[in-house]
Structure 1
Amino acid sequence: MSDDVKMFEGSQIRSVWDNERKEWYFSVVDVIGSLTESNNPRDYWYRVKKRMSEEEKSELSTICRQLKLKAPDGKMRLTDVADMQGIFRIIQSFPSPKAEPFKMWLAEVGNEYAILTNEISKVWSGMTTREYKDFKGLKKENLRDNMSTTELILNMLAETATKDIAEATNPQGLDENKQVAQDGGSISGDARKSIEARTGKPVITSKNAIDLGRLIGDLVKHDR
Protein backbone atom coordinates (compact mmCIF):
# COMPACT_ATOMS: atom_id res chain seq x y z
CA MET A 1 0.00 0.00 0.00
CA SER A 2 1.17 3.55 -0.67
CA ASP A 3 -0.86 6.60 0.28
CA ASP A 4 -1.16 9.93 -1.48
CA VAL A 5 -3.20 13.14 -1.36
CA LYS A 6 -4.81 14.30 -4.59
CA MET A 7 -6.46 17.63 -5.30
CA PHE A 8 -9.87 18.18 -6.88
CA GLU A 9 -10.86 21.84 -7.30
CA GLY A 10 -8.88 22.82 -4.20
CA SER A 11 -10.12 19.95 -2.02
CA GLN A 12 -7.82 17.25 -0.69
CA ILE A 13 -8.78 13.68 -1.54
CA ARG A 14 -6.79 11.14 0.47
CA SER A 15 -6.05 8.03 -1.55
CA VAL A 16 -4.24 4.71 -1.28
CA TRP A 17 -2.73 2.66 -4.10
CA ASP A 18 -3.18 -1.10 -3.65
CA ASN A 19 -0.36 -2.63 -5.64
CA GLU A 20 -1.80 -6.13 -5.42
CA ARG A 21 -5.15 -5.15 -6.93
CA LYS A 22 -3.70 -2.35 -9.07
CA GLU A 23 -6.42 -0.03 -7.81
CA TRP A 24 -6.68 3.40 -6.22
CA TYR A 25 -8.87 3.60 -3.12
CA PHE A 26 -10.28 7.01 -2.19
CA SER A 27 -11.51 8.37 1.13
CA VAL A 28 -15.31 8.44 0.94
CA VAL A 29 -15.52 11.27 3.50
CA ASP A 30 -13.08 13.42 1.50
CA VAL A 31 -15.07 12.84 -1.70
CA ILE A 32 -18.30 13.81 0.06
CA GLY A 33 -16.67 16.89 1.56
CA SER A 34 -15.49 17.98 -1.88
CA LEU A 35 -18.80 17.39 -3.65
CA THR A 36 -21.20 18.69 -1.00
CA GLU A 37 -19.06 21.37 0.68
CA SER A 38 -20.54 20.10 3.94
CA ASN A 39 -19.00 21.45 7.16
CA ASN A 40 -19.18 17.94 8.60
CA PRO A 41 -18.76 15.40 5.76
CA ARG A 42 -18.30 12.54 8.25
CA ASP A 43 -21.75 13.21 9.70
CA TYR A 44 -23.14 13.65 6.16
CA TRP A 45 -21.80 10.22 5.19
CA TYR A 46 -23.29 8.73 8.39
CA ARG A 47 -26.72 10.13 7.49
CA VAL A 48 -26.42 8.89 3.88
CA LYS A 49 -25.72 5.37 5.14
CA LYS A 50 -28.58 5.56 7.65
CA ARG A 51 -31.05 6.37 4.85
CA MET A 52 -29.97 3.36 2.81
CA SER A 53 -32.18 0.31 2.48
CA GLU A 54 -30.93 -3.05 3.73
CA GLU A 55 -30.18 -4.02 0.13
CA GLU A 56 -28.17 -0.84 -0.42
CA LYS A 57 -26.27 -1.40 2.84
CA SER A 58 -25.44 -4.93 1.75
CA GLU A 59 -24.17 -3.63 -1.57
CA LEU A 60 -22.15 -0.95 0.24
CA SER A 61 -20.34 -3.60 2.27
CA THR A 62 -19.03 -5.11 -0.97
CA ILE A 63 -17.70 -1.86 -2.45
CA CYS A 64 -16.35 -0.22 0.72
CA ARG A 65 -13.44 -1.23 2.91
CA GLN A 66 -11.59 0.41 5.78
CA LEU A 67 -7.94 1.41 5.51
CA LYS A 68 -5.75 3.56 7.74
CA LEU A 69 -5.28 7.08 6.39
CA LYS A 70 -3.65 10.09 8.01
CA ALA A 71 -6.27 12.18 9.80
CA PRO A 72 -6.09 15.99 10.22
CA ASP A 73 -4.50 15.45 13.64
CA GLY A 74 -1.66 13.52 12.00
CA LYS A 75 -2.70 10.12 13.36
CA MET A 76 -3.44 7.10 11.19
CA ARG A 77 -7.12 6.23 11.54
CA LEU A 78 -9.38 3.64 9.91
CA THR A 79 -11.37 5.37 7.17
CA ASP A 80 -14.06 4.23 4.75
CA VAL A 81 -12.56 3.97 1.27
CA ALA A 82 -13.78 2.70 -2.09
CA ASP A 83 -12.21 2.06 -5.47
CA MET A 84 -13.07 4.09 -8.54
CA GLN A 85 -16.20 2.15 -9.46
CA GLY A 86 -17.32 2.14 -5.83
CA ILE A 87 -16.99 5.92 -5.59
CA PHE A 88 -19.00 6.27 -8.81
CA ARG A 89 -21.84 4.32 -7.19
CA ILE A 90 -21.63 6.10 -3.84
CA ILE A 91 -21.91 9.60 -5.30
CA GLN A 92 -25.16 8.56 -6.94
CA SER A 93 -26.59 8.54 -3.40
CA PHE A 94 -26.55 12.31 -3.08
CA PRO A 95 -27.07 15.26 -5.47
CA SER A 96 -24.14 17.45 -6.42
CA PRO A 97 -23.47 19.75 -9.39
CA LYS A 98 -19.82 18.66 -9.17
CA ALA A 99 -20.61 14.96 -9.66
CA GLU A 100 -19.92 14.81 -13.41
CA PRO A 101 -16.68 16.88 -13.30
CA PHE A 102 -15.54 14.70 -10.39
CA LYS A 103 -16.20 11.49 -12.36
CA MET A 104 -14.10 12.83 -15.22
CA TRP A 105 -11.31 13.81 -12.79
CA LEU A 106 -11.43 10.38 -11.15
CA ALA A 107 -11.13 8.60 -14.51
CA GLU A 108 -8.14 10.77 -15.42
CA VAL A 109 -6.43 9.97 -12.10
CA GLY A 110 -6.82 6.24 -12.64
CA ASN A 111 -5.67 6.44 -16.26
CA GLU A 112 -2.70 8.71 -15.40
CA TYR A 113 -1.37 6.21 -12.85
CA ALA A 114 -1.54 3.36 -15.37
CA ILE A 115 0.40 5.49 -17.86
CA LEU A 116 3.08 6.34 -15.28
CA THR A 117 3.39 2.71 -14.14
CA ASN A 118 4.03 1.72 -17.75
CA GLU A 119 6.62 4.51 -18.14
CA ILE A 120 8.54 3.24 -15.10
CA SER A 121 8.37 -0.35 -16.33
CA LYS A 122 9.46 0.52 -19.89
CA VAL A 123 12.52 2.44 -18.75
CA TRP A 124 13.88 0.00 -16.18
CA SER A 125 12.90 -3.33 -17.77
CA GLY A 126 12.49 -2.40 -21.44
CA MET A 127 8.87 -3.58 -21.45
CA THR A 128 5.45 -2.21 -20.56
CA THR A 129 3.62 -3.95 -17.73
CA ARG A 130 1.49 -5.89 -20.24
CA GLU A 131 4.52 -6.92 -22.30
CA TYR A 132 6.32 -7.99 -19.13
CA LYS A 133 3.36 -10.17 -18.08
CA ASP A 134 3.12 -11.66 -21.57
CA PHE A 135 6.86 -12.43 -21.47
CA LYS A 136 6.28 -14.45 -18.30
CA GLY A 137 3.15 -16.12 -19.66
CA LEU A 138 0.85 -14.42 -17.17
CA LYS A 139 -2.80 -13.48 -17.61
CA LYS A 140 -4.55 -12.21 -14.47
CA GLU A 141 -1.72 -13.17 -12.11
CA ASN A 142 0.14 -10.45 -10.24
CA LEU A 143 3.41 -9.54 -11.98
CA ARG A 144 5.25 -8.75 -8.75
CA ASP A 145 4.44 -12.22 -7.37
CA ASN A 146 6.13 -13.75 -10.40
CA MET A 147 9.40 -11.83 -10.32
CA SER A 148 12.78 -13.22 -9.33
CA THR A 149 14.46 -11.64 -6.31
CA THR A 150 16.62 -9.41 -8.53
CA GLU A 151 13.66 -8.34 -10.66
CA LEU A 152 11.65 -7.52 -7.56
CA ILE A 153 14.44 -5.44 -6.00
CA LEU A 154 14.99 -3.47 -9.21
CA ASN A 155 11.25 -2.89 -9.62
CA MET A 156 11.06 -1.58 -6.06
CA LEU A 157 14.11 0.62 -6.69
CA ALA A 158 12.41 2.14 -9.75
CA GLU A 159 9.17 2.83 -7.86
CA THR A 160 10.95 4.22 -4.78
CA ALA A 161 13.25 6.44 -6.85
CA THR A 162 10.26 7.79 -8.75
CA LYS A 163 8.41 8.57 -5.51
CA ASP A 164 11.47 10.29 -4.00
CA ILE A 165 12.03 12.41 -7.12
CA ALA A 166 8.34 13.35 -7.23
CA GLU A 167 8.40 14.46 -3.59
CA ALA A 168 11.51 16.55 -4.24
CA THR A 169 10.33 18.18 -7.49
CA ASN A 170 6.51 18.30 -7.10
CA PRO A 171 5.72 17.65 -10.79
CA GLN A 172 2.53 19.14 -12.27
CA GLY A 173 0.52 17.61 -15.08
CA LEU A 174 1.00 14.42 -17.05
CA ASP A 175 4.12 15.46 -18.98
CA GLU A 176 6.10 16.42 -15.86
CA ASN A 177 4.95 13.26 -14.05
CA LYS A 178 5.99 11.12 -17.04
CA GLN A 179 9.45 12.70 -16.94
CA VAL A 180 9.75 11.88 -13.22
CA ALA A 181 8.65 8.29 -13.93
CA GLN A 182 11.30 8.03 -16.63
CA ASP A 183 13.97 9.47 -14.33
CA GLY A 184 13.09 7.02 -11.56
CA GLY A 185 12.96 4.10 -13.96
CA SER A 186 16.33 5.01 -15.49
CA ILE A 187 18.06 4.71 -12.09
CA SER A 188 16.91 1.10 -11.84
CA GLY A 189 17.52 0.54 -15.55
CA ASP A 190 21.16 1.60 -15.13
CA ALA A 191 21.50 -0.83 -12.20
CA ARG A 192 20.03 -3.62 -14.35
CA LYS A 193 22.48 -2.94 -17.17
CA SER A 194 25.38 -2.87 -14.71
CA ILE A 195 24.40 -6.27 -13.29
CA GLU A 196 24.03 -7.72 -16.78
CA ALA A 197 27.43 -6.36 -17.83
CA ARG A 198 29.08 -8.05 -14.82
CA THR A 199 27.24 -11.36 -15.03
CA GLY A 200 26.81 -11.69 -18.79
CA LYS A 201 23.20 -12.75 -18.19
CA PRO A 202 19.89 -10.93 -18.64
CA VAL A 203 18.18 -9.88 -15.41
CA ILE A 204 14.68 -10.10 -16.88
CA THR A 205 13.60 -13.73 -16.97
CA SER A 206 10.62 -15.42 -18.54
CA LYS A 207 10.38 -17.65 -15.46
CA ASN A 208 7.23 -17.14 -13.39
CA ALA A 209 6.30 -18.22 -9.86
CA ILE A 210 5.75 -21.83 -10.90
CA ASP A 211 9.13 -22.05 -12.62
CA LEU A 212 10.90 -20.26 -9.78
CA GLY A 213 9.21 -22.54 -7.26
CA ARG A 214 10.47 -25.61 -9.12
CA LEU A 215 13.97 -24.16 -9.21
CA ILE A 216 13.99 -23.66 -5.44
CA GLY A 217 12.64 -27.18 -4.97
CA ASP A 218 15.41 -28.64 -7.13
CA LEU A 219 18.06 -26.73 -5.17
CA VAL A 220 16.67 -28.04 -1.87
CA LYS A 221 16.71 -31.62 -3.19
CA HIS A 222 20.26 -31.16 -4.42
CA ASP A 223 21.41 -29.91 -0.98
CA ARG A 224 19.96 -33.00 0.62
Structure 2
Amino acid sequence: MSDVERIQLFENKKVRTAWDEEKQEWYFSIVDVCGVLTDQPTHERARNYWKVLKNRLKKEGSEVVTKCNRLKLIAEDGKPRETDVADMAVMFRVIESIPSKKAEPIKIWMAQVAAERINQAIDPERSIDQAVADYRRLGYSEAWINRRIKTIEIRKGLTDEWKRGGITKEVDFAFLTDLMSKTWSGLTTKEYKKYKGLTKENLRDNMTNMELLLNALAEETATEISKQRNPEGLSENAGVAKEGAEVAKATRKEVEKRIGHSVVSPEKALDYITSPEELPFPDEQKGEEQ
Protein backbone atom coordinates (compact mmCIF):
# COMPACT_ATOMS: atom_id res chain seq x y z
CA MET A 1 0.00 0.00 0.00
CA SER A 2 1.35 3.40 -0.93
CA ASP A 3 1.65 6.23 1.57
CA VAL A 4 0.60 8.84 -0.96
CA GLU A 5 -2.30 10.58 0.75
CA ARG A 6 -4.68 13.40 -0.04
CA ILE A 7 -7.70 14.98 1.58
CA GLN A 8 -10.54 15.07 -0.96
CA LEU A 9 -13.63 17.23 -0.53
CA PHE A 10 -17.19 16.00 -1.05
CA GLU A 11 -19.72 18.77 -0.46
CA ASN A 12 -17.03 20.63 1.53
CA LYS A 13 -16.55 17.66 3.86
CA LYS A 14 -13.14 16.01 4.14
CA VAL A 15 -12.56 12.44 3.02
CA ARG A 16 -9.07 11.04 3.55
CA THR A 17 -7.76 9.00 0.64
CA ALA A 18 -4.59 7.12 -0.29
CA TRP A 19 -3.32 6.28 -3.76
CA ASP A 20 -1.83 2.83 -4.38
CA GLU A 21 0.69 3.36 -7.18
CA GLU A 22 1.17 -0.35 -7.85
CA LYS A 23 -2.54 -1.17 -8.10
CA GLN A 24 -3.42 2.24 -9.58
CA GLU A 25 -6.35 2.58 -7.17
CA TRP A 26 -7.64 5.06 -4.63
CA TYR A 27 -8.42 3.85 -1.11
CA PHE A 28 -11.01 5.81 0.88
CA SER A 29 -11.37 6.22 4.64
CA ILE A 30 -14.52 4.29 5.52
CA VAL A 31 -15.11 6.33 8.68
CA ASP A 32 -14.99 9.58 6.68
CA VAL A 33 -17.41 8.26 4.04
CA CYS A 34 -19.79 7.03 6.75
CA GLY A 35 -19.65 10.45 8.36
CA VAL A 36 -20.53 12.16 5.08
CA LEU A 37 -23.36 9.77 4.22
CA THR A 38 -25.01 10.01 7.64
CA ASP A 39 -24.24 13.68 8.39
CA GLN A 40 -22.40 12.86 11.60
CA PRO A 41 -21.47 16.05 13.51
CA THR A 42 -18.11 14.73 14.75
CA HIS A 43 -15.41 12.29 13.71
CA GLU A 44 -16.06 10.30 16.90
CA ARG A 45 -19.72 9.84 15.97
CA ALA A 46 -18.72 8.73 12.47
CA ARG A 47 -16.28 6.21 13.93
CA ASN A 48 -18.95 4.81 16.23
CA TYR A 49 -21.38 4.52 13.30
CA TRP A 50 -18.85 2.48 11.32
CA LYS A 51 -18.09 0.31 14.37
CA VAL A 52 -21.76 -0.62 14.74
CA LEU A 53 -22.21 -1.16 10.99
CA LYS A 54 -19.08 -3.32 10.79
CA ASN A 55 -20.30 -5.56 13.61
CA ARG A 56 -23.68 -5.91 11.92
CA LEU A 57 -22.09 -6.83 8.59
CA LYS A 58 -19.90 -9.43 10.33
CA LYS A 59 -22.93 -11.04 11.98
CA GLU A 60 -24.71 -11.13 8.62
CA GLY A 61 -21.73 -12.98 7.14
CA SER A 62 -20.91 -10.19 4.69
CA GLU A 63 -17.53 -10.44 2.93
CA VAL A 64 -17.25 -6.65 2.81
CA VAL A 65 -15.51 -6.36 6.18
CA THR A 66 -12.87 -8.97 5.31
CA LYS A 67 -12.07 -7.09 2.10
CA CYS A 68 -11.35 -3.83 3.92
CA ASN A 69 -7.74 -2.82 4.61
CA ARG A 70 -6.01 -1.05 7.48
CA LEU A 71 -3.84 1.95 6.69
CA LYS A 72 -2.22 4.71 8.69
CA LEU A 73 -3.78 8.06 7.77
CA ILE A 74 -3.36 11.43 9.44
CA ALA A 75 -5.92 11.78 12.23
CA GLU A 76 -7.49 14.95 13.61
CA ASP A 77 -4.62 15.32 16.08
CA GLY A 78 -2.13 15.41 13.20
CA LYS A 79 -0.68 11.98 13.98
CA PRO A 80 -0.77 8.94 11.67
CA ARG A 81 -3.23 6.39 13.02
CA GLU A 82 -4.53 3.12 11.61
CA THR A 83 -8.01 3.29 10.15
CA ASP A 84 -10.19 1.12 7.92
CA VAL A 85 -9.97 1.89 4.20
CA ALA A 86 -11.50 0.35 1.10
CA ASP A 87 -10.96 0.56 -2.64
CA MET A 88 -13.77 1.89 -4.78
CA ALA A 89 -15.44 -1.48 -5.43
CA VAL A 90 -15.56 -2.44 -1.75
CA MET A 91 -16.50 1.10 -0.76
CA PHE A 92 -19.51 0.92 -3.08
CA ARG A 93 -20.69 -2.20 -1.20
CA VAL A 94 -20.28 -0.43 2.14
CA ILE A 95 -22.28 2.52 0.80
CA GLU A 96 -25.08 0.17 -0.25
CA SER A 97 -25.38 -0.88 3.41
CA ILE A 98 -26.07 2.69 4.51
CA PRO A 99 -29.50 4.27 3.95
CA SER A 100 -28.64 7.72 2.64
CA LYS A 101 -29.85 10.06 -0.09
CA LYS A 102 -26.19 10.88 -0.71
CA ALA A 103 -25.33 7.31 -1.73
CA GLU A 104 -25.49 7.85 -5.49
CA PRO A 105 -23.89 11.33 -5.45
CA ILE A 106 -20.90 10.07 -3.48
CA LYS A 107 -20.48 7.08 -5.83
CA ILE A 108 -20.36 9.49 -8.77
CA TRP A 109 -17.88 11.67 -6.87
CA MET A 110 -15.61 8.69 -6.15
CA ALA A 111 -15.63 7.73 -9.82
CA GLN A 112 -14.68 11.32 -10.70
CA VAL A 113 -11.79 11.22 -8.22
CA ALA A 114 -10.50 8.03 -9.86
CA ALA A 115 -10.89 9.45 -13.38
CA GLU A 116 -9.05 12.66 -12.46
CA ARG A 117 -6.00 10.69 -11.30
CA ILE A 118 -5.88 8.88 -14.64
CA ASN A 119 -6.23 12.17 -16.52
CA GLN A 120 -3.36 13.67 -14.53
CA ALA A 121 -1.13 10.74 -15.46
CA ILE A 122 -1.95 11.31 -19.14
CA ASP A 123 -1.66 15.12 -18.97
CA PRO A 124 0.94 16.28 -16.38
CA GLU A 125 -0.27 19.90 -16.64
CA ARG A 126 -3.50 18.85 -14.93
CA SER A 127 -1.47 17.55 -12.00
CA ILE A 128 0.46 20.83 -11.76
CA ASP A 129 -2.80 22.81 -11.90
CA GLN A 130 -4.20 20.65 -9.08
CA ALA A 131 -1.08 21.20 -6.99
CA VAL A 132 -1.33 24.99 -7.44
CA ALA A 133 -5.00 24.94 -6.42
CA ASP A 134 -4.19 22.81 -3.35
CA TYR A 135 -1.37 25.12 -2.22
CA ARG A 136 -3.57 28.20 -2.64
CA ARG A 137 -6.33 26.55 -0.60
CA LEU A 138 -3.81 25.80 2.14
CA GLY A 139 -2.77 29.45 2.35
CA TYR A 140 0.69 29.48 0.76
CA SER A 141 1.85 32.73 -0.88
CA GLU A 142 1.95 32.97 -4.68
CA ALA A 143 5.73 33.49 -4.55
CA TRP A 144 6.20 30.30 -2.51
CA ILE A 145 3.87 28.35 -4.81
CA ASN A 146 5.82 29.45 -7.90
CA ARG A 147 9.09 28.31 -6.34
CA ARG A 148 7.57 25.03 -5.16
CA ILE A 149 6.17 24.18 -8.59
CA LYS A 150 9.57 24.89 -10.13
CA THR A 151 11.25 22.56 -7.62
CA ILE A 152 8.79 19.81 -8.57
CA GLU A 153 9.87 20.21 -12.21
CA ILE A 154 13.54 20.15 -11.19
CA ARG A 155 12.99 17.02 -9.09
CA LYS A 156 11.25 15.33 -12.01
CA GLY A 157 14.24 16.15 -14.24
CA LEU A 158 16.62 14.56 -11.74
CA THR A 159 14.59 11.38 -11.25
CA ASP A 160 14.31 11.06 -15.04
CA GLU A 161 18.12 11.19 -15.18
CA TRP A 162 18.37 8.56 -12.46
CA LYS A 163 16.01 6.31 -14.38
CA ARG A 164 18.08 6.84 -17.53
CA GLY A 165 21.11 5.79 -15.50
CA GLY A 166 19.50 2.50 -14.50
CA ILE A 167 17.90 3.45 -11.18
CA THR A 168 14.55 1.65 -10.87
CA LYS A 169 14.12 0.55 -7.24
CA GLU A 170 12.32 2.81 -4.79
CA VAL A 171 14.93 2.05 -2.14
CA ASP A 172 17.65 3.38 -4.48
CA PHE A 173 15.71 6.59 -5.17
CA ALA A 174 15.39 7.02 -1.40
CA PHE A 175 19.11 6.34 -0.88
CA LEU A 176 20.14 8.95 -3.46
CA THR A 177 17.69 11.47 -2.02
CA ASP A 178 19.04 10.91 1.49
CA LEU A 179 22.62 11.17 0.25
CA MET A 180 21.94 14.56 -1.34
CA SER A 181 20.01 15.85 1.66
CA LYS A 182 22.70 14.75 4.11
CA THR A 183 25.43 16.29 1.96
CA TRP A 184 24.01 19.78 1.51
CA SER A 185 21.97 20.18 4.73
CA GLY A 186 23.71 17.81 7.14
CA LEU A 187 20.46 15.89 7.68
CA THR A 188 18.90 12.84 6.05
CA THR A 189 15.26 13.10 5.00
CA LYS A 190 14.15 11.35 8.20
CA GLU A 191 16.37 13.56 10.37
CA TYR A 192 15.18 16.68 8.54
CA LYS A 193 11.51 15.80 9.10
CA LYS A 194 12.18 15.08 12.78
CA TYR A 195 13.99 18.43 13.10
CA LYS A 196 10.89 20.18 11.74
CA GLY A 197 8.51 18.12 13.86
CA LEU A 198 6.89 16.43 10.86
CA THR A 199 5.33 12.97 10.67
CA LYS A 200 3.61 12.09 7.38
CA GLU A 201 3.74 15.62 5.93
CA ASN A 202 5.82 16.23 2.82
CA LEU A 203 9.22 17.68 3.74
CA ARG A 204 9.46 20.00 0.72
CA ASP A 205 6.01 21.41 1.41
CA ASN A 206 7.45 22.50 4.76
CA MET A 207 10.70 24.06 3.55
CA THR A 208 11.42 27.77 3.71
CA ASN A 209 12.25 29.66 0.50
CA MET A 210 16.00 29.35 1.15
CA GLU A 211 15.77 25.62 1.86
CA LEU A 212 13.78 25.07 -1.34
CA LEU A 213 16.32 27.05 -3.38
CA LEU A 214 19.33 25.20 -1.99
CA ASN A 215 17.70 21.80 -2.45
CA ALA A 216 16.78 22.76 -6.02
CA LEU A 217 20.36 23.93 -6.66
CA ALA A 218 21.67 20.54 -5.53
CA GLU A 219 19.22 18.65 -7.75
CA GLU A 220 19.60 20.85 -10.84
CA THR A 221 23.39 20.69 -10.59
CA ALA A 222 23.30 16.90 -10.25
CA THR A 223 20.99 16.70 -13.28
CA GLU A 224 23.34 18.77 -15.46
CA ILE A 225 26.40 16.76 -14.36
CA SER A 226 24.51 13.54 -15.10
CA LYS A 227 23.66 14.70 -18.62
CA GLN A 228 27.36 15.25 -19.30
CA ARG A 229 28.73 12.08 -17.70
CA ASN A 230 25.95 9.54 -18.31
CA PRO A 231 26.45 7.58 -15.05
CA GLU A 232 25.32 3.95 -14.91
CA GLY A 233 24.19 2.11 -11.80
CA LEU A 234 23.80 3.16 -8.20
CA SER A 235 27.45 3.83 -7.42
CA GLU A 236 28.07 6.19 -10.34
CA ASN A 237 24.76 7.98 -9.84
CA ALA A 238 25.57 8.39 -6.16
CA GLY A 239 28.87 10.06 -7.05
CA VAL A 240 27.10 12.55 -9.32
CA ALA A 241 24.36 13.17 -6.76
CA LYS A 242 26.95 13.94 -4.08
CA GLU A 243 28.78 16.36 -6.37
CA GLY A 244 25.58 18.25 -7.07
CA ALA A 245 24.79 18.44 -3.37
CA GLU A 246 28.33 19.65 -2.57
CA VAL A 247 27.66 22.73 -4.71
CA ALA A 248 24.56 23.51 -2.64
CA LYS A 249 26.52 22.83 0.57
CA ALA A 250 29.18 25.37 -0.41
CA THR A 251 26.47 27.91 -1.22
CA ARG A 252 24.72 27.23 2.09
CA LYS A 253 27.93 27.83 4.06
CA GLU A 254 28.59 31.08 2.19
CA VAL A 255 25.05 32.33 2.84
CA GLU A 256 25.23 31.37 6.53
CA LYS A 257 28.55 33.19 6.90
CA ARG A 258 26.93 36.36 5.59
CA ILE A 259 23.61 36.19 7.47
CA GLY A 260 25.00 34.83 10.72
CA HIS A 261 22.67 31.86 11.25
CA SER A 262 21.77 28.45 9.83
CA VAL A 263 19.44 28.32 6.84
CA VAL A 264 18.36 24.80 7.81
CA SER A 265 15.25 25.83 9.69
CA PRO A 266 12.94 24.08 12.18
CA GLU A 267 10.08 26.11 10.68
CA LYS A 268 7.29 24.19 8.98
CA ALA A 269 4.32 25.23 6.88
CA LEU A 270 2.10 25.88 9.88
CA ASP A 271 4.57 28.54 11.02
CA TYR A 272 4.43 30.69 7.91
CA ILE A 273 1.43 30.01 5.66
CA THR A 274 -1.29 32.62 5.92
CA SER A 275 -4.46 30.67 6.70
CA PRO A 276 -3.76 26.94 7.01
CA GLU A 277 -6.63 24.47 6.92
CA GLU A 278 -4.33 21.51 7.40
CA LEU A 279 -0.80 20.52 6.53
CA PRO A 280 -0.22 19.17 3.02
CA PHE A 281 -0.08 15.45 2.49
CA PRO A 282 2.43 13.67 0.34
CA ASP A 283 1.25 13.54 -3.23
CA GLU A 284 4.18 12.64 -5.42
CA GLN A 285 4.62 9.72 -7.72
CA LYS A 286 6.41 6.69 -6.34
CA GLY A 287 10.13 7.43 -6.16
CA GLU A 288 9.68 11.12 -6.98
CA GLU A 289 10.05 12.79 -3.58
CA GLN A 290 10.66 11.68 -0.03
TM-score by length of 1: 0.57
SS of 2:96 mapped into structure 1: helix
2: CA distance, partners of 1:72 / 1:197: 45
| Matching of residue 23 in structure 1 with residue 28 in structure 2 | no
Per-residue CA deviations over 1:104-150 (Å, capped at 9, x if unaligned) read 11100000011102223xx8xxxxxxxxxxxxxxxxxxxxxxxxxxx
Instruction: Check 1:66–1:101 CA distance in 2 against 1; reply closer, same or farther (3 A cut).
Output: same
Taking only the aligned residue pairs, the percentage that are identical comes to 37
2: CA distance, partners of 1:168 / 1:74: 18
Partner of 1:43: 48
2: CA distance, partners of 1:12 / 1:195: 44
* Aligned 1:188-203 pairs, distance under 5 A: 198=228
Unmatched 5+ stretches in structure 2: 139-148, 162-223, 234-290
Bigger relative CO (Cα 8 Å, ≥ 6 apart) = 2
Query: Which residue, out of 62, 85, 90, partners 1:86?
Result: 90
SS of 2:22 mapped into structure 1: coil
Query: Which residue, out of 13, 16, 38, partners 1:14?
Result: 16
Partner of 1:107: 111
Per-residue CA deviations over 1:64-122 (Å, capped at 9, x if unaligned) read 101011111112111000011111110101110011111111100000011102223xx
2: CA distance, partners of 1:4 / 1:51: 30
| Post-superposition offset of 1:168 | 3.4
Root-mean-square deviation (Å): 3.4
**Number of residues paired by the alignment?**
153
Matched letter for residue 168 of structure 1: Y
Query: Which residue, out of 58, 61, 64, partners 1:55?
Result: 61
SS of 1:103 mapped into structure 2: helix
* Aligned 1:182-221 pairs, distance under 5 A: 187=154, 198=228
| Matching of residue 168 in structure 1 with residue 109 in structure 2 | no
Matched letter for residue 49 of structure 2: Y
| Matching of residue 76 in structure 1 with residue 80 in structure 2 | yes
TM-score by length of 2: 0.45
| Post-superposition offset of 1:59 | 3.6
Instruction: Check 1:170–1:118 CA distance in 2 against 1; reply closer, same or farther (3 A cut).
Output: farther
Matched letter for residue 114 of structure 1: I
Contact 1:162–1:183 (CA under 8 A) maintained in structure 2: no
Per-residue CA deviations over 1:149-194 (Å, capped at 9, x if unaligned) read xxxxxxxxxx9x88875653459xxxxxxxxxx9788546766596
Matched letter for residue 67 of structure 1: L
2: CA distance, partners of 1:199 / 1:82: 46
Matched letter for residue 103 of structure 1: K
Matched letter for residue 44 of structure 1: Y
Unmatched 5+ stretches in structure 1: 124-158, 172-181, 204-211, 213-224
SS of 1:37 mapped into structure 2: coil
Contact 2:75–2:81 (CA under 8 A) maintained in structure 1: yes
